[in-house]
Structure 1
Amino acid sequence: MSSIPNQPIPLNDLSLVAQAQHGVDAQAITSFREYAQLSKEVMAGLLHVTPKTIDNLKAKRRKIGVVQAEILLSLIRLFNRGEHLFGSIDEFKGWLGLPQPALEMQPPNKFLFSITGIRLVEECLERIEQGYAA
Structure 2
Amino acid sequence: MAKAMKASSTTHTKMPPVASIKESGEGALPATDVSRIQQAFQDIDLRNNYQLVTAALSGVYADTFIKFVDLANISRNELAAAMNISTKTIKNKLADKEPLDPNQGEHLLKIISLFELGEKIFGGLEPFKRWLEKPFFGKPQKPEDFLKTTGGVELIMDELKRLAYGDVI
TM-score by length of 2: 0.73
How many residues align? The count is 133
User: CA–CA distance in 2 between the matches of 1:63 and 1:74?
Assistant: 16
Quote the residue 1:115 is aligned against. Answer: 150
**Highest relative contact order (Cα 8 Å, sep 6+), 1 or 2?**
2
From 106, 131, 156, the counterpart of 1:95: 131
Residues 63 and 24 of structure 1: is their aligned pair in 2 closer, same or farther, counting only changes over 3 Å? same
Q: What are structure 2's unaligned runs of at least 5 residues?
A: 1-34
Q: What are structure 1's unaligned runs of at least 5 residues?
A: none
Quote the residue 1:17 is aligned against. Answer: 53
Q: Which structure shows the higher helix fraction?
A: 1
Quote the residue 2:36 is aligned against. Answer: 2
**Percent identity of equivalent pairs:** 31
List structure 1 runs of 4+ shifted beyond 3 angstroms: none
The alignment's C-alpha RMSD in Å is 1.6
The 8 Å contact of residues 56 and 106 in structure 2, kept in 1 or not, is answered as yes
> What's the offset of the Cα at 1:11?
2.0
From 26, 29, 41, the counterpart of 2:77: 41
> What's the offset of the Cα at 1:10?
2.7
SS at match of 1:63: coil
SS at match of 1:24: coil
TM-score by length of 1: 0.91
Confirm or deny that 1:84 pairs with 2:104.
Answer: no
